[in-house]
C-alpha cells in the first residue's frame, strides 16, 4: 500500500509539473493507463495480462493502424531477437546444474576453507552463491540451488536462523548482478545497450557487494562468537579444491568466451549448456528423465518471462506512439532540479515498486519510460543498467513480496514465520542500498572496466 501511494503521489507531481511547464504531456492518457493498471494489478491479475490488455486497449483507442497490424509488428521484434535466445539457454544450464549435484561439491569445498572465519558457514553461503551465480544467471535458481544444499548443514546448530536465511537470500539475489545475469540481457534488449559491456561493468560492483556481505557476516561473527570447528590439515584443504574444478571450468567457458570476445552472450550460453551436460554426464546424472525435467522447468520459466516481455513491448509501443517517454524526458530534463536529485527520485521509485512488484516485471514495465529521462540527464546507459539490476536485486529481497525470500521460506525444514527471513535480510538490504549510493557517488566503479577493455 505504501508503494502504491508513493507511485500515485509521484505521478501527481509529474502531471502537475507538466501542467505548469512548457513541455506538453498526454495527461489524460497517462491517467487512464495508471487507473487501469492499478485496477487490474490490485485485483491480482497476472502482470503479463495487465500489460497486454493495456497495450491493446490504448492502441485501439489511439493508434491509426488496425490493432492486429501493430500487434504483429511489435511482437515480432523481441521474439526474433537473437540476444533473447540467451535467456532460455542460461535457464537450461542452471536447471541441469541443479540436478547434476555440482552445487553440493562446490559448497563442501568452500566450507573447508571458510568455516573457521568468524561467522563460519554463513561465509560459505555468500561465497558459494556468488560463485554459482557466475554460471546460473538467475537469482531464483541460485537461491533454490544453494538453499537446498546449505540448509541441511545448519540443522542442529546454534546459528541464528534469521542470519542463515538472510545470508542465503542475499547471496541468491546476486544471481542477477554477477554475470551472466539474465537481467542484463533484458535491459540490453530494451535499451539496445551492449550486453557484453554490461557484463564487464558488473564485475567491480558485484565484487563490492559480495565483499560488503562478508564484512556484515564478519561483524555478526565477532559479536556472536561460536565454537570453531577443528582445524583441517593443509592436504585436506588442497584436495577439496578438486571439487571446485568443474564449476571454475564452466565459469571460464561461459564468461571467458564473452570477455575474450570469442562468443556473444547467446553463444556463450549455448556453450554453457553443453558444458553443464558434459559435467552432468561425468557425474552419472545425465539421464533422459533429468533432461526432460530440466527442459520442462526451462520452458515454464521462459514462457512466463516471455509473456511479460511481449506484453511490455506492446505497451511500450503505444506509450511511444502517444509521446509519453519523450514528453517526460523533455519535461524532467528541463526542470530546475539537479540531475542527481532526479536520479534519487527514480531510485526511490524503484525501491518502492520493489515492495509489491516482481523484479523482471518492474524492469520491463519501467525502463522504457525511465531510460530516456536518464539519458537526457546525461547519465551513461551502461552505468544505469548496473544500477537498475541492483535495484531489481533489492526488490527480490524486499518485504513483503521478495521472490527469493519465499523460495527459501518454502525450503525450511524447521517451521517458522516468514518474518524470520524478513528480519534476516535487513542487514544485507542495507548493504545493497549502500552499494547503490556508492555507485551514484563513484560512477567509475561501473564504467572504469568497460572503458579499459573497449
Render 211-250 in DSSP notation, one character per residue.
HHHHHHHHHHHHHS--PPPPPPPHHHHHHHGGGGHHHHHH
User: What would the grid cell of residue 213 be?
Assistant: 556481505
pLDDT score for 165 = 92
CA distance 417 to 133: 27
pLDDT score for 370 = 87
CA distance 313 to 76: 10
Of 162, 167, 97, 163, the C-alpha closest to 129 is 167
pLDDT in tens, the chain (454 residues): 444 444 444 445 444 444 444 445 556 666 666 677 677 766 666 666 777 777 777 777 766 666 666 677 677 766 677 777 888 888 888 888 878 878 888 888 888 888 878 888 899 999 999 999 888 777 887 888 888 888 888 887 888 889 999 999 999 999 889 988 888 988 998 888 988 899 999 999 999 999 999 999 999 988 887 777 777 787 878 888 888 888 889 989 988 888 888 888 888 889 999 999 998 998 888 899 999 999 998 888 788 777 777 777 777 676 677 666 666 666 666 677 888 988 998 898 888 878 777 777 788 778 888 898 899 888 999 999 999 999 999 988 888 777 788 888 887 877 788 888 899 999 999 999 999 999 999 999 999 999 988 7
**H or E stretch covering 405:** helix 403-409
CA distance 280 to 124: 23
**H or E stretch covering 327:** helix 324-333
CA distance 205 to 436: 9
Of 377, 307, 294, 304, the C-alpha closest to 343 is 377
pTM score, whole prediction: 0.80
Cα angle at 136 between 133 and 142, to 5 degrees? Answer: 65
- Encode burial over 336-362: b for 16+ CB neighbours within 10 A, e otherwise: eeebeebbeebbebbbbbbbbbbbbbb
Of 139, 448, 89, the C-alpha closest to 253 is 89
Of 271, 267, 266, the C-alpha closest to 251 is 271
User: What would the grid cell of residue 202 be?
Assistant: 558488473
Amino acid at each position: 500500500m505504501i508503494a502504491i501511494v508513493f507511485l500515485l503521489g509521484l505521478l501527481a507531481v509529474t502531471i502537475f509539473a507538466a501542467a505548469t511547464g512548457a513541455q506538453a504531456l498526454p495527461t489524460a492518457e497517462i491517467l487512464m493507463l495508471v487507473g487501469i493498471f492499478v485496477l487490474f494489478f490490485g485485483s491480482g491479475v497476472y502482470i503479463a495480462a495487465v500489460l497486454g490488455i493495456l497495450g491493446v486497449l490504448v492502441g485501439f483507442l489511439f493508434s491509426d493502424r488496425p490493432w492486429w497490424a501493430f500487434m504483429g509488428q511489435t511482437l515480432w521484434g523481441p521474439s526474433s531477437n537473437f540476444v533473447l535466445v540467451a535467456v532460455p539457454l542460461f535457464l537450461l544450464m542452471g536447471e541441469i546444474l541443479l540436478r547434476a549435484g555440482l552445487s553440493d561439491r562446490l559448497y563442501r569445498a568452500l566450507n573447508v576453507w571458510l568455516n573457521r572465519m568468524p561467522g563460519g558457514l554463513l561465509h560459505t553461503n555468500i561465497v558459494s552463491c556468488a560463485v554459482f551465480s557466475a554460471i546460473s544467471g538467475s537469482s531464483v535458481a541460485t537461491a533454490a540451488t544453494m538453499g537446498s544444499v546449505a540448509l541441511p548443514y545448519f540443522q542442529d546448530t546454534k546459528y541464528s536462523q534469521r542470519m542463515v536465511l538472510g545470508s542465503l537470500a542475499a547471496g541468491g539475489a546476486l544471481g542477477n548482478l554477477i554475470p551472466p545475469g539474465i537481467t542484463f540481457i533484458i535491459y540490453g534488449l530494451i535499451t539496445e545497450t551492449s550486453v557484453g559491456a554490461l557484463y564487464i561493468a558488473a564485475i567491480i560492483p558485484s565484487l563490492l557487494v559480495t565483499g560488503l556481505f562478508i564484512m556484515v557476516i564478519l561483524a555478526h561473527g565477532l559479536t556472536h562468537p561460536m565454537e570453531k570447528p577443528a582445524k583441517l590439515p593443509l592436504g585436506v584443504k588442497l584436495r577439496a579444491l578438486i571439487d571446485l574444478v568443474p564449476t571454475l571450468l564452466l565459469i571460464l567457458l561461459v564468461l571467458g568466451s564473452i570477455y575474450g570476445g570469442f562468443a556473444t552472450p547467446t553463444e556463450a550460453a549455448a556453450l554453457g549448456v553443453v558444458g553443464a551436460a558434459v559435467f552432468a554426464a561425468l557425474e552419472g546424472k545425465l539421464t533422459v528423465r533429468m533432461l526432460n525435467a530440466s527442459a520442462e522447468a526451462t520452458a515454464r520459466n521462459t514462457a512466463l518471462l516471455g509473456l511479460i516481455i511481449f506484453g511490455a513491448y506492446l505497451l511500450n509501443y503505444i506509450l511511444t506512439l502517444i509521446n509519453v517517454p519523450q514528453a517526460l524526458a523533455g519535461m524532467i530534463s528541463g526542470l530546475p532540479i539537479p540531475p542527481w536529485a532526479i536520479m534519487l527520485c527514480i531510485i526511490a521509485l524503484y525501491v518502492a515498486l520493489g515492495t509489491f512488484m516482481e523484479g523482471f516485471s518492474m524492469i520491463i514495465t519501467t525502463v522504457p519510460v525511465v531510460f530516456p529521462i536518464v539519458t537526457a540527464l546525461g547519465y551513461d546507459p551502461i552505468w544505469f543498467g548496473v544500477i537498475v539490476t541492483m535495484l531489481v536485486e533489492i526488490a527480490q529481497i524486499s518485504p513483503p513480496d521478495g521472490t527469493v525470500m519465499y523460495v527459501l521460506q518454502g525450503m525450511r525444514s524447521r517451521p517458522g514465520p516468514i518474518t524470520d527471513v524478513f528480519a534476516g535480510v535487513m542487514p544485507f538490504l542495507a548493504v545493497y542500498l549502500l552499494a547503490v549510493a556508492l555507485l551514484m557517488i563513484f560512477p567509475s566503479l561501473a564504467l572504469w572496466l568497460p572503458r579499459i577493455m573497449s
